[in-house]
Chain A
Amino acid sequence: MTQATQHKEPLLRIVKRDGIARPKAYAIRLIAVLLSLVVCGIFIYAITKLNPVQVYEAIFDGAFGTNRRSWVTIRDAMMLLCIGVGLAPAFKMKFWNIGAEGQILIGGVVTAGIMKAYGSALPTPALLVVMALASILCGCLWGVIPAVFKSVWNTNETLFTLMMNYVAIQITSYCVALWENPVGSNSVGIINQMTAYGHFPKLFGQTYGLNVLLVLLLTVGMYIYLKYSKQGYEIAVVGDSENTARYAGINVKKVTIRTMAISGAICGIAGFIEVAGVSHTISTNTAGGRGFTAIIVAWLAQFNTFVMILISFLLVFLQQGAIQIATQFNLNDYASEIITGIILFFILSSEFFINYRVILRNRKGADGK
C-alpha cells in the first residue's frame, strides 16, 4: 500500500455557528458597515486623492443637509419600503417575484390615465380613491397571472414575472406616446400641473405626509399579517415545504395565488403613490429599478417589515449622498455607485460571518471575525 505524505491542516476552515447571540450579530453587522467605510475611504483616496472624511460629510449633507433634502430622502425611502413590504409575502412563500417593476408600472399607468382623464370630473379625494383602487386591481392582476400559471402548469415564476415587466414597460411606452405633452417632448409632463387635480394633498403641513402615512400603515399591517394571521401562517408553511403544507390540508394553489394577489396589489399601490404622490407623471423609468432593489430590502430584513424601514433608509441615504458627492467633487455617478456597491457587499457578506465562523490554523477553536 502507498503511504500518504504528511498533510498540513488547512489554513482556513469554516464552521457553522450553532446560533449567535443577537447583540453579537448586530455587532458583526456594525463592524461590516465600518469596514466598508474604511475600504471606500481607501478607494476614494486612491482614485481621487480626496479626503474621505470630507466625502463622507458630503454624503450626509446630500441626504440630510437641508430640510428639502431630508424630505426627499424620507420620500424615496418610503417608496422603497412600500415595494419591499409588497415583496415580503411573496418571498416568504419562496415565490421569486422579480416582477415588482412591472407591477409598479402598471399601477402607475392606470393612476396617470385616470388622473389625466377624470382630473376635472371628480373631486380630488374621490379621484384618489378611484386611482388607488384601480392601481390595486392592476397590480393584483400582474401578480396573479404568473401565480396562476405556476399553480396550474408549474411554470417558472422567476422568468414569468420578469417577462411581465417587459409587457408593462411596453404598455407604458405606448401610453407615454399617447399622452405626450407637449407634443414632441417624448414625455407626459406633469399631469394637471396647474390644477393639481389628483395630486396628494398636504398632510400635517407636509407635502409627503400622506406618502409616509400610507406606507407606514402598510408596514404595520403587513407585519401583523405575516406574523399573527392565519393566512400569514399558511404563507410560512408553504414557503418552508409544500409537502408539509399539503399534509396540513393547506390548498397550496390557493395560497400561492392569494399571496401573489396581495404582493402585486401592494406593488400596484407603490405605483399609485409614486405617480399621485411624488412625480405626478409617468414614464418607463417610473419604477426605476426599485422593484429589484426592494428584493434586497425584503431579504436583508428577513421579511420583518420594521427592519425594512432601517434598510430602505440606509440604501436611500447612500443614493442621495452619492448624488451629492458626484456633483460636489465633480465625480461622475459611477463613483457613487461603486461606493454603494462596496457597502452593500460588506453588509451582505456579514451574514456569512453571522452564520459561520472561520478558524485559522493553529488557532484552534478561536473565533473568526
Chain B
Amino acid sequence: MENTYAIQMKHVTKRFGKVVANDDVSLDIKRGEILSLLGENGSGKTTLMNMLAGIYFPDEVEILVNGTPVTIASPKDAFACGIGMIHQHFKLVDIFTAAENIVLGLHEEGKLDLKAVSARITDICQRYGFVIDPNKKVYNMSVSEKQTVEIVKVLYRGADILILDEPTAVLTPQETDRLFDVMRNMKADGKAMVIITHKLNEVMEVSDRVAVLRKGRYIGDVATADTNPQKLTDMMVGHAVTLNIDRPLVEKRHLRLEVRDLTVRTGEGVKALDGVSFQAFGGEILGIAGISGSGQKELLESIAGLRAAEPGSHVIYHPPAPDEPIAGQHVPVDRAGEELLGKTPRQIHSIGVSMAFVPEDRLGMGLVGTMGMTDNMMLKTYRSGAGPLLDRKSPRELAQRVKDELDVLTPSLNTPVRRLSGGNVQKVLVGREIAQEPSVLMTAYAVRGLDINTSYTIYNLLTAEKCKGVAVIYVGEDLDVLLELCDRILVLCGGQVSGVVDARTTTKEEVGLLMTKFRKEASQA
C-alpha cells in the first residue's frame, strides 16, 4: 500500500486567552493508516483536530492536504478537503431517520431522492461492514447506532480522512470491537484515520502509529508495534508513573446502606430505576457500571434525597458503631437502621451520607461556578454559626487546606471555580466532601476529564476512605479502572440490576455482557 501523507500540519498554534492549547504542533497523517492521538485531558488533542475540521481557526498554521497548502476556515472547507470529524457528542436530529440525517445540509442538484440516498448508504455500509437501517428514526437508536450514522454521514460526503473523537467512551466492549473492525476495513480501503483517545489498551489494539501530545506540545510519535502502555504513559505524563491501584481488603465490613426495590420514575413517567436492590458495606468500594444513562444518576440522586422514589422503595441506612473511627459528629440515627427516603437532602447529609456528584457538565451540581473555592466550601455548612451573617473564616481555612493537600491550581481562593481546569474543579469537590467525614461517600464520574496523575490521586483518596471504614459507591465508566479499584461491581442495565460481581475475579467481558443483558433479551423477544 502506498503511504503518502494525507495531511501535514506544520507549526500549529492556538491560544484561548492566556491558555496555549496547541503550541507549535506538527503532525502528519498518512493514508491507509490509523493514527492514535494520545494525550491526557487538556493536552490539546481535540483542539488540534477541531482546527482540521474547521471548528476553530488556528493562530498560526500551515496545513497541507495531499501536499497542497490549504486554509480551513469552516466545516465546509474541511469537507471540501475530504476531512470529516465524528464528534464526541452526536449532532443528529432525533426525529429524522438515519437517511434524512445523513443528507441534511447537503445541497445536491435536483430533487431529494431518499431512495437513492438509502441505496448509497446501504452501499457504504456493505463496503465497510456497518449495520444500519436508513429508515430508522434516530430517537429509536442506541448510542452505537447513532455513532454509526455519524460515521456514515461523513463517508457519504466523500471524506477520506476521518477523525474520531473518543469514539469508544460511550460503547460497551463488544460494540468497541465492532467499531474497530469497521475502522480496519476503512483502513484497507485507503482512508486515513485519526482516533483521539486516552485509553491505552485501545491504542495498542487498533492503531498503527501513536502521536502523543502533552500540555499542548507535540511529544513525538512511535509505531504501535514498538511500544507498550507503560512507555506511552510515560510519554503522556512526562515522567514514569506506576499504573497500579492499591486494593487492600478491609477485614471488618459492616452493612451500611441497604437499597430494596428502589423504583424511580423520570419527569416523563418512564421508569429510570426498576426494583433496584443491593447492599453497600463500610470498608468497601462498590463500583457501579453500566452504559451511561442506565440509571446511575437517578440511583445516587434518590439516595441523596434529591429525587422522589415510588412507594415501596426503601433505602435503609445503618450507622457506624460509636467506637468506629468514622462515627464522627453526625446527627445520631436509629441503630437498627433508618429509612432515608422521604428525608430532605439536608437531613441525609447531616447524618453522614455524602454525595460528590459530578454530572455531565461538571459544574451543574455540587459546585457554584461563579463562586471561588472559599464560598464553595461552605455550600453545605453555611448555615452553621449563629446570626444571619456568614462565617467565612473556617471555610477559608478549609479551602486553603484542600488547596494545599490536593495541589489545587488556582490563582486565588476567590477565583470563580468555573475558571479552573476540570481536574482542579474535581479536586475541590471531592476535597470538600471528604472533609465532611462522611460514612457513605458516593461519587459519579469522579475522574472524568482528569489527567492520569490526578486520577490516581483520587483513586488513592477513595481507597483511603474505604480503609477508614467508609462505604464508597463509585459510579465509573472505565471498566479497566472499575475492575482494579472496586471490591464489588454492580452492573446496571436499563434501570435494573443485571448483576453484582466480585471485581477481583470477574472479567471485562463478563461485565460488558451484563451491561447489555436486558437489551439483548428484548431484541430477541
Q: Do A and B come from one complex?
A: yes
Name A residues whose Cβ lies closer than 8 Å to a Cβ of B.
1-4, 6-10, 13, 15-19, 224, 228-233, 236-237, 240-241, 243-244, 246-249, 364-365
A9 lies within 8 A of B57 (CB): yes
Q: Is there an interface contact between A364 and B60, defined as CB atoms closer than 8 Å?
A: yes
Asked whether B68 lies within 8 Å of A241 as measured between CB atoms, the reply is: no
A4→B77 contact, CB < 8 A: yes
Is the C-beta of B82 less than 8 angstroms from some C-beta in chain A? yes
Q: What string of 1s and 0s marks CB contacts (under 8 Å) between B8-38 and chain A?
A: 0000000111110000000000000000000
B370 touches A236 (CB 8 A): yes
**A35 to B82 CA separation, bound complex (whole angstroms):** 47
Contacts of A1 in B (CB 8 A): 66, 81-82, 158, 160
Encode contact with A along B302-313: 1 for CB under 8 Å, 0 otherwise: 001010000000
Whether B245 sits at the interface, judged by CB under 8 Å, is no
Name the residue of chain A whose CB is nearest to the CB of B347. Answer: A249
**Does B144 belong to the interface (CB within 8 Å)?**
no
B81 — which chain A residues lie within 8 A by C-beta? Answer: 1-4
Query: With A2-B80, A365-B59 in contact, do A230 and B306 touch (Cβ < 8 Å)?
Result: no
Q: With the chains together, A194 CA to B38 CA distance in Å? A: 85
* CA A332 to CA B42, docked complex, whole Å: 59
**Is B16 a contact of A15 with CB atoms below 8 Å?**
yes
**Do the beta carbons of A244 and B366 come within 8 Å of each other?**
yes
User: Which residues on B sit within 8 Å (CB–CB) of A236?
Assistant: 368, 370-371, 375
Question: B344 touching A249 by the CB < 8 A rule?
Answer: yes
The answer on a CB contact under 8 Å between B368 and A17 is no
B389 within 8 A of A: yes
B77 near A7: Cβ-Cβ < 8 Å? yes
One of B169-177, B317-325, B379-387 at the interface: B379-387
With A3-B68, A233-B382 in contact, do A364 and B365 touch (Cβ < 8 Å)?
Answer: no
Q: Which of A16, A230, A236 has the most CB of B within 10 A?
A: A230
CA distance A218 to B406 in the complex (A): 42
14 contacts between A and B (CB under 8 A): A3-B65, A3-B66, A4-B81, A7-B77, A10-B73, A16-B17, A18-B17, A18-B19, A19-B419, A230-B390, A233-B378, A237-B371, A244-B366, A365-B59
A230 and B388 in contact, given A1-B158, A246-B345 (Cβ under 8 angstroms): yes
Report how far A233 CA is from B376 CA in the complex, Å. Answer: 10
- Mark contacts of B56-72 with chain A using CB atoms, 8 A cut-off: 1 yes-contact digit, 0 otherwise: 01011000011011111
Q: Is the CB of B368 within 8 A of A240?
A: yes
Q: Is B127 an interface residue (CB 8 A)?
A: no
| CB interface residues, B 360-406, toward A, < 8 Å | 363-371, 375, 378-380, 382-383, 388-390
Within the assembled complex, what's the spacing in Å between the Cα atoms of A246 and B73?
43
> A230 with B59: in contact, given A8-B71, A237-B379, A247-B306 (CB under 8 Å)?
no
Known: A9-B73, A15-B16, A229-B389. A248 touches B379 (CB 8 A): yes
- Which chain B residue has the least Cβ–Cβ distance from A239? B370
Closest-CB distance, A365 to chain B (whole angstroms):
7
A224–B390 CA distance with the chains assembled, in angstroms: 10
Question: How far is B419's CA from A288's CA once the two chains are assembled, in angstroms?
Answer: 41
Q: Which residues of B contact A2 (CB under 8 A)?
A: 80-82
In angstroms, Cα B66 to Cα A238, docked, is: 53
User: Which A residue's beta carbon lies closest to that of B381?
Assistant: A248
Determine whether the beta carbon of B368 is less than 8 Å from that of A244: yes
Least Cβ distance of A245 to chain B in Å?
9
Query: Is B375 touching A241 in the complex (CB atoms < 8 A)?
Result: no
The listed residue (A16, A224, A241, A365) touching B368 by CB distance below 8 A is: A241
Q: In the bound complex, do residue A6 and residue B70 qualify as a contact, i.e. CB atoms below 8 Å apart?
A: yes
Known: A240-B370, A241-B363, A247-B306. A4 touches B80 (CB 8 A): yes
A362 to B108, CA, bound (A): 36
Q: Are A233 and B390 in contact, with the CB atoms below 8 A?
A: yes
Q: CA of A246 to CA of B346 in the docked complex: distance in angstroms?
A: 9
> In the complex, which residues of chain A have a beta carbon less than 8 angstroms from the beta carbon of B82?
1-2
Q: Which of A3, A231, A244 contacts B388 (CB 8 A)?
A: A231
Q: Scoring B residues 69 to 102 as 1 if CB is less than 8 Å from chain A, else 0, what string do you get?
A: 1111100010011100000000000000000000
A128 to chain B: closest CB distance in Å? 27
Residues of the A chain whose Cβ atoms lie less than 8 Å from the Cβ of B57: 9-10, 13
**Which residues of chain A have C-beta atoms less than 8 A from B70's C-beta?**
3-4, 6-7
Given the contacts A2-B80, A246-B306, A9 and B71 also touching, CB distance less than 8 Å? yes
